[in-house]
A and B are shown apart, each in its own frame.
Chain A
Amino acid sequence: MKIKTLFVMLTLLAGSALITSADIAELVPDHDYAELESLIIQQGGRKKPLLTFSREVLLTLSGRSSLNLEDKRVDSMAFIASIWINQRDWSEQPIINVESAEVKEALGLDMRKHRFAFRDIVGAETFQRLVAEMEETREVGGDEAMTEKQRKLNEVVARLNLFQSLQTGRAFAVIPHPSDPVGRWVSLGEAETYYTEQELVPLGLDWVMLHAAYHGEPISRNFTEASVAFRERQAALSPEVMLSGGLVRAELLYEKVPFFRLAWILCLLTTLAFGLTWKAGRKTGSAIGWSLALAALAAMTVGMALRVYISGRAPVTNMYETVIWVAFGAMLFAVIFEMRHRCRYYFLSAAPVATLMLILADSVPSILDPNIAPLTAVLRDNFWLTTHVLIVTISYAAFALAWGLGHYVLFRKIVGGPKAPENKFIHAYIYRAMQVGLLLLIAGVILGGVWANYSWGRFWGWDPKETWALIAILCYLFVLHGRLVGWWKGFGISVGSVVGFLSILMCWYGVNFILGAGLHSYGFGTGGTGYAIAFVVAELAFVAAALFRHYQAPPAGRRRVSEPNAAPAKNLAKAKA
């Protein structure tokens, strides 16, 4: 990057051979891309269908999965085809996402907009100076030395680079390596590095035809036929390095059906089904709720199964995947517990929690990156990754379930005051969920220790993630031991489930996004810290409110020191009374 790239960017600005097109209809003609979607392209360390490529690229570039240009909706394939086949100048279209207000201000961009044209950003008066400063900071002090603004600017520069590689065609690595399945693919312009002119002539002709068909020129093929011809010709260049048909179909299915969006809608409906029929129509409500919950679970299962099939590894390698996995786990635990207890509380707690998490995963792609990318080398061990990470993250799900139930108890306390009737069932449910979570967390952390002992040499290294996992364990142990010795009962457990979850949040999100340090370097990211802090403050305020209501007039018998083994018996006695 650096100065060199700046020069290149300037050249691109100065004189380009691209045709500038003001008319959106001409820029993005309507075509059916169904056949072009399955063209295989290599990018980001793996081979993928062009549809996935287009989605990922557009998401990275603009933060959205489709564009809205002059009231015309341009989906990712239309955009990719236009910039690649049409070879139109896109540098004046507002498609590059600049979300940071600081960066916008520094560049003198319109504060009200989110997306800007390449030209507007690169042409900004302060752009070159800011980039040079950022590069200098990084040169001297490394990535950590960069300010928040420079980090954000760096993200924008990465988007600009991506845009350039698209505009120049370099990004379209569709020419397969002739023999090596993991060899580097090249773009059409560099095809001669691997193949002779004779070998390339047919593909070249097909490319010209595709081009002509795209422009609606009167040739023997329509666009769909031309797409098929080009795709098949490309696949024939080096058949042994192509993706298998099954993988391509799986990936297209995964891209086309929004499984996780479907899942959150189903989870939301589950919540409604159980919530609205709480008092009346219990039976129908339960039947509908159960089917919706199972459907949501099925949608998530299929979505994750496809992801596993496509990536060839456990679906818990970045924040996006873990959030979905936790949502899945919460629903799974709810189903298991409901099968045992049929109490509806579990669904009523798990479904909103899962809805919340899935919406989160669905709506902030810049923070929770949904792209499937290769793993860092440290994590490339399927056995350990699967056992350790899956178990740890599913324990979060159990805690999330307890957290949701805890909210219910605290909410009742806030509304009903100190004399609100306590529902001992829920307390037992929370207790159970916490036990399950704790066992899984302990097992997962210890498995992590065994993995670390095996692969890094040491069992425990006080890495931030390790330490915070330990703190979370100790928090929940504290809550459970406290109950055992009779310091508190149901209400205390509920408070513990809500406060304890904050330690999970720190371990889960905080270590990766706020501390951003340590060996657990999967899915480090930035963003959302403000929301996270707001969330923590809101939760603490909520707990404080509940505690306040609880202590307004402490009912007799609270905080009574009692024999640990006698406590449940007393509960029972009370319940019977």
Chain B
Amino acid sequence: MLLFLVIAVASVWGTIEESRYTSQVDMTFGARLAQHRIYHAWWFTFWLIVLCVNLACVTFTRLPWKKRHTGFIVTHYGIITLLIGSMIGKHAGIEGSMNLRIGDPPENSLVLGEMVLHFLDYRGRIYRAPFPMDVSPPRENRPKILPLPHKQRRTAGAPFSRVGSRWFGRSPGEPSLVFNRYSEKLEREEDFAPAPGSHSTGVRLHMVSAMMGGQGMDVTLITEPADKSYHALAGLAQISLSDRIVRDFDAMETPSPLLQIRVTGPGEVEYHVINSRAEVREGELRVGESLETGWADWVVRLEEALPEAAWVDEIRENPALPTGGGLAGAYGWLDWGDGRRTEPQWFLLGDMQRVQLDENEVRFGFGFRRERLPFQVELIGFEVPRDEGTDNPANFTSYLRFTDPETGESVEGSCGMNVPALYPNAFHRLLTGFTYKFSQASWDPDDLEVSTVQVLRDPGWLFKWVGSLTVVAGVYMIFFMRSFRHRRPEDIIDDLRAGDNESDKTGKP
């Protein structure tokens, strides 16, 4: 029995080692990665199962159970219940988030934390494959190869399958998508380029101020889209590019510094600049020429001016970006299996991609998996009360409306910090964990019409709660209740003390 106990305890400690390791991973790779690698990995589940079996076995070693074993048994079965609850939750539950906006139509699409790739065949059928790029990225020497389910004759054995199932393996000679890199540090470099026939004009300026440390900055402006025709300098001054220069500033009491630019020809612009003392300067500028703005010591140099310009996108990896600071995308190509392949390129997460290879076109997109809720959700209000006299949020409350599409009935609810909304919240559903719980997850400080709620359905919750209570009760019994335990430290102390007293008595003459 002792030997068995030692082995049992040793395997328990094996798990501790694992969890120590996990926490180190947690530190370096971030929670999601750690979850994928460790906590949701098959071997971690395996360890938990071994732990459960082990805990049960340990209790069997104490057969036949006596009253004093109660605490011990209660505790160990409590842990088992808790772990069973967590496994139920993990496999039968659902966890995702919804990004809702006030005024948007009711929504039932839930974004889950796992990435998938969707492929659209020429008949418009959608196929799905797991695509865990973020947590297990492909490498140059270990690319991720996804064969395409495109050839009719092979439909039966196609590795790519219809939505809802998975596919495995790869046959040579199949058209496939190949990815060998994944990055979350991508930048979409927007630059303008000559575009004959375009109705937009564009300029690129370089601004320097010795007072501000002499480090220059580039300002690129283009008239279309309109939001790209302005540049605000830390809220103090503005530069605008337009087809018309406004000169009527008489009405302004305190003019804000403004530089207006109009492209007059290739490499030529007309400018009009006003500073906070209402001094105006205007004239023409050619590429390479500089202009003193009269705003402190800022100098503007014209780098480029195009009368017909358009934006072009270029996706680049910038390793200097912090984690999560850039766009996410995978680097890969389409391989037709017969020696033909496309040029490698970055595919951004979330975008619908089209890849052309000779006469063939392949359409796919990847992103976070979505799941349909059996009801509709709509955001009808969002409030952020603040701490008095500050902008610090004191709470967040989303007001939600849930609609059952079958009956058409709707229910309103609200979720704030620490106060989730439940739907449908009939008692039997609540008990069996078929209720969806909506918790406030995040917000956008710049847009108070938008709120992100976390959605969770956890059929294992009752096991978790009962298990937890049992563990606490069991530990209490072991440690503190005389009748359920053989010897408490107090008893040892009392015995020791009794012994001391005896020896004192006997020791003294």
B394–A132 touching, CB < 8 Å: no
A478–B489 touching, CB < 8 Å: no
- Closest A residue to B457 by beta carbon equals A457
B418–A425 touching, CB < 8 Å: no
| Complex CA–CA separation, A3 to B213 (angstroms) | 11
Asked if A458 is an interface residue, CB under 8 A from chain B, the answer is: yes
A46–B489 touching, CB < 8 Å: no
Residues of A within 8 A of B458 (CB): 453, 457-459
Asked if A416 is an interface residue, CB under 8 A from chain B, the answer is: no
Binds B, one of A84-92, A350-358, A403-411, A442-450: A442-450
B495–A467 touching, CB < 8 Å: no
Binds A, one of B194-202, B329-337, B338-346, B463-471: B463-471
Asked if A153 is an interface residue, CB under 8 A from chain B, the answer is: no
Chain B residues at the A interface, C-beta cutoff of 8 Å: 2, 5-6, 9, 12-13, 15-16, 19-20, 22-23, 26-27, 31, 34-35, 39, 85-86, 89, 95, 211-213, 215, 233-236, 320-322, 325, 385-390, 392-396, 417-420, 437, 439, 454-456, 458, 461, 464-465, 468-469, 471-472, 475-476, 479-480, 486-490, 492-493, 495-497, 499-500, 502-503
Chain A residues at the B interface, C-beta cutoff of 8 Å: 2-4, 6-7, 42-47, 128-129, 132-133, 140-142, 144-145, 173, 181-185, 340-341, 374, 377-378, 380-381, 384, 424-425, 428-429, 431-432, 435-436, 438-439, 442-443, 446, 449-451, 453-464, 467-468, 470-471, 474-475, 478, 481-482, 485, 515, 517-518, 561, 563-565, 568, 571-572, 575-576
A425–B493 touching, CB < 8 Å: yes
CB distance from A229 to the nearest CB of B (A): 25
| Complex CA–CA separation, A45 to B271 (angstroms) | 47
| Known A-B contacts A4-B234, A377-B393, A564-B5; A456 and B20 likewise in contact (beta carbons under 8 Å) | no
CB distance from B492 to the nearest CB of A (A): 5
Q: Which of A132, A145, A377 has the most CB of B within 10 A?
A: A377
B456–A457 touching, CB < 8 Å: yes
| Known A-B contacts A439-B476, A446-B472; A563 and B2 likewise in contact (beta carbons under 8 Å) | yes
CB distance from B387 to the nearest CB of A (A): 3
Q: A380-B418, A462-B22 are in contact. List 18 more A-B contacts (CB 8 A).
A: A43-B389, A46-B388, A128-B211, A140-B321, A141-B325, A377-B394, A377-B395, A380-B395, A428-B492, A438-B475, A439-B475, A455-B418, A459-B86, A459-B464, A517-B27, A572-B492, A572-B496, A576-B502
- Closest B residue to A183 by beta carbon equals B388
| Known A-B contacts A42-B388, A478-B16; A462 and B31 likewise in contact (beta carbons under 8 Å) | yes
A565–B486 touching, CB < 8 Å: yes
- Closest B residue to A184 by beta carbon equals B389
| Known A-B contacts A429-B489, A449-B468; A45 and B392 likewise in contact (beta carbons under 8 Å) | yes
Residues of A within 8 A of B420 (CB): 454-455, 457
| Complex CA–CA separation, A446 to B493 (angstroms) | 31
- Closest A residue to B479 by beta carbon equals A435
| Complex CA–CA separation, A481 to B472 (angstroms) | 17
- Closest B residue to A382 by beta carbon equals B418
- Closest A residue to B235 by beta carbon equals A4
A460–B418 touching, CB < 8 Å: no
A380–B417 touching, CB < 8 Å: yes
- Contact among A42, A446, A467 with B389 in the assembled complex (CB-CB below 8 Å): A42
Residues of A within 8 A of B497 (CB): 425
| Known A-B contacts A374-B387, A428-B493, A563-B2; A474 and B472 likewise in contact (beta carbons under 8 Å) | no
- Contact among B9, B27, B499 with A572 in the assembled complex (CB-CB below 8 Å): B499
A428–B489 touching, CB < 8 Å: yes
Residues of B within 8 A of A133 (CB): 213
| Known A-B contacts A142-B322, A142-B325, A439-B472; A377 and B396 likewise in contact (beta carbons under 8 Å) | yes
A-B contact pairs, 14 of them (CB 8 A): A377-B417, A425-B493, A429-B489, A442-B475, A455-B419, A457-B456, A458-B458, A464-B27, A464-B31, A474-B19, A518-B31, A564-B5, A568-B492, A571-B492
- Closest A residue to B234 by beta carbon equals A3
- Contact among B6, B456, B487 with A485 in the assembled complex (CB-CB below 8 Å): B6
- Contact among B2, B468, B487, B495 with A575 in the assembled complex (CB-CB below 8 Å): B495
B487–A568 touching, CB < 8 Å: yes
| Known A-B contacts A7-B236, A141-B321, A515-B27; A471 and B20 likewise in contact (beta carbons under 8 Å) | yes
CB distance from A390 to the nearest CB of B (A): 15
| Complex CA–CA separation, A456 to B394 (angstroms) | 17
CB distance from A333 to the nearest CB of B (A): 14
CB distance from B1 to the nearest CB of A (A): 9
Residues of A within 8 A of B503 (CB): 576
B472–A456 touching, CB < 8 Å: no
| Complex CA–CA separation, A569 to B387 (angstroms) | 60
| Complex CA–CA separation, A517 to B32 (angstroms) | 13
| Complex CA–CA separation, A518 to B213 (angstroms) | 37
| Known A-B contacts A453-B464, A457-B439, A478-B16; A431 and B489 likewise in contact (beta carbons under 8 Å) | yes
Residues of A within 8 A of B86 (CB): 459-460
Residues of A within 8 A of B321 (CB): 140-141
| Complex CA–CA separation, A132 to B217 (angstroms) | 12
- Contact among B5, B26, B419 with A462 in the assembled complex (CB-CB below 8 Å): B26
Q: Which of B389, B420, B464 has the most CB of A within 10 A?
A: B389
CB distance from A185 to the nearest CB of B (A): 6
Residues of B within 8 A of A467 (CB): 19, 22-23, 26
| Complex CA–CA separation, A461 to B40 (angstroms) | 11
| Complex CA–CA separation, A75 to B439 (angstroms) | 47
B95–A478 touching, CB < 8 Å: no
- Closest B residue to A571 by beta carbon equals B492
Residues of A within 8 A of B386 (CB): 182
A481–B9 touching, CB < 8 Å: yes
- Closest A residue to B233 by beta carbon equals A3
| Complex CA–CA separation, A478 to B496 (angstroms) | 25
| Complex CA–CA separation, A4 to B233 (angstroms) | 9
B236–A3 touching, CB < 8 Å: yes
B22–A575 touching, CB < 8 Å: no
B387–A46 touching, CB < 8 Å: yes
B456–A432 touching, CB < 8 Å: no
Residues of A within 8 A of B85 (CB): 459
CB distance from A331 to the nearest CB of B (A): 20
- Closest B residue to A486 by beta carbon equals B2
B322–A145 touching, CB < 8 Å: yes
A381–B456 touching, CB < 8 Å: no
A453–B461 touching, CB < 8 Å: yes
B388–A474 touching, CB < 8 Å: no
Residues of B within 8 A of A455 (CB): 417-420, 439
Residues of B within 8 A of A145 (CB): 322, 325
| Known A-B contacts A128-B212, A442-B472; A456 and B439 likewise in contact (beta carbons under 8 Å) | yes
A561–B215 touching, CB < 8 Å: no
A44–B476 touching, CB < 8 Å: no
Q: Which of B22, B469, B487, B492 has the most CB of A within 10 A?
A: B492
Residues of A within 8 A of B502 (CB): 576
- Closest A residue to B497 by beta carbon equals A425
| Known A-B contacts A428-B492, A485-B6; A458 and B95 likewise in contact (beta carbons under 8 Å) | yes
| Known A-B contacts A45-B389, A462-B35, A467-B22; A428 and B439 likewise in contact (beta carbons under 8 Å) | no
Residues of A within 8 A of B499 (CB): 572, 575-576
- Closest A residue to B12 by beta carbon equals A481
CB distance from A296 to the nearest CB of B (A): 25
| Complex CA–CA separation, A132 to B216 (angstroms) | 12
| Complex CA–CA separation, A135 to B347 (angstroms) | 31
Residues of A within 8 A of B456 (CB): 457-458
Residues of A within 8 A of B464 (CB): 449, 453, 459
B9–A184 touching, CB < 8 Å: no
| Known A-B contacts A140-B325, A568-B492; A381 and B236 likewise in contact (beta carbons under 8 Å) | no
- Closest B residue to A341 by beta carbon equals B493
- Closest A residue to B215 by beta carbon equals A132
Sorted nearest first, the 4 A-B pairs with minimum C-beta distance are: A45-B387, A457-B456, A141-B322, A381-B418
- Closest B residue to A342 by beta carbon equals B497
CB distance from B30 to the nearest CB of A (A): 8
A425–B496 touching, CB < 8 Å: yes
CB distance from A560 to the nearest CB of B (A): 12
CB distance from B13 to the nearest CB of A (A): 6
